[in-house]
Amino acid sequence: MMKIGLTIAALSASPLAAQEFSLPQGCEAYLTIQSTSCSVSHYFTCEEDGEGEQRRATMDEEGLSYVGRISSDAEWLESFHLRSGHTERMSDDSDDPMSMSELLANDIDTWDFKTESREIGVSQYVGFDRLTGETVEIDGVTLRRTQYALTAYDGAGTEMWKSEGAEFVSDEWRMFIGGLSSYITSDDRFDSDDTPVEFIFPGEHGYLSVNPKFGCGVEMSSFDANDAQLIQTNY
């Protein structure tokens, strides 16, 4: 993941990629999403990945900020946070990984899993995703509405922060898409709105654009940007 993340960072910063996001060799994109939060995300698959796995690269006004990989069941496998400089990988020592199949079958999926990071150590995430029973159409794409809540602990079991909010699920793409989220620590709170605005497909104007279009220049909270990057867990 670190290798892929650094490759993408280098390519996206090159002069030839000034207006269009460049993928590493062996990878193929299929979707770009422009979101409310002054971010644009590109979804792609790579030859080296397992069956059904996919990746997301998110960019903001300052450039590439996040690269993540999920399983065919939307299980969070790896994440690379460029601003904070840390990488997290799913630990084998996880009691209950996330499962899109369980969520779609039972309207709720509880989970309790751990990640390992060379930079920040072991983290544990405990929470749930729940379907609300509502669907919404955004830019011609039908999505299911969800609610979620999670608590994050460090390797010693001490609570670090909590998050709650309302997101979206795509049955077709087997993935979660950001929405309204709140991140709460012992002394602060960060609210974000990552609701999708445009879904852009190959051949359409704006596909693989490096330029976010919506919500730029808007300060959403006083929460420190580095802390926000540290606790970002979008799948």
- Give the model's pLDDT for residue 218: 63
- Residues 6 or more apart whose Cβ sits within 8 Å of residue 206: 32, 34, 198, 200, 213
CA nearest to 116, candidates 141, 143, 91: 91
Cα 10–Cα 205–Cα 61 angle in degrees, nearest 5? 45
Cα 31–Cα 35–Cα 36 angle in degrees, nearest 5? 170
Per-residue pLDDT for 2 more than 60? no
pLDDT band at 95 (very low <50, low <70, confident <90, very high): confident
Task: Give residue-wise pLDDT tens across range 12-40.
Answer: 444 444 588 999 899 999 999 999 999 99
Please report, for the chain, the start and end positions of each structural domain, with discontinuous segments joined by +.
Answer: 2-230
Which is higher by pLDDT, 15 or 110?
110
Q: Which residue is listed with tokens 């209950």? A: 96
pLDDT band at 84 (very low <50, low <70, confident <90, very high): confident
pTM for this predicted structure: 0.87
- Give the model's pLDDT for residue 217: 80
Nearest-angstrom CA–CA distance, 207 and 34: 10
pLDDT band at 85 (very low <50, low <70, confident <90, very high): confident
Q: How far is CA 152 from the centre of its chain?
A: 16
Per-residue pLDDT for 234 more than 50? no
Q: How far is CA 20 from the centre of its chain?
A: 20
For the chain, the first-to-last Cα distance in angstroms comes to 14
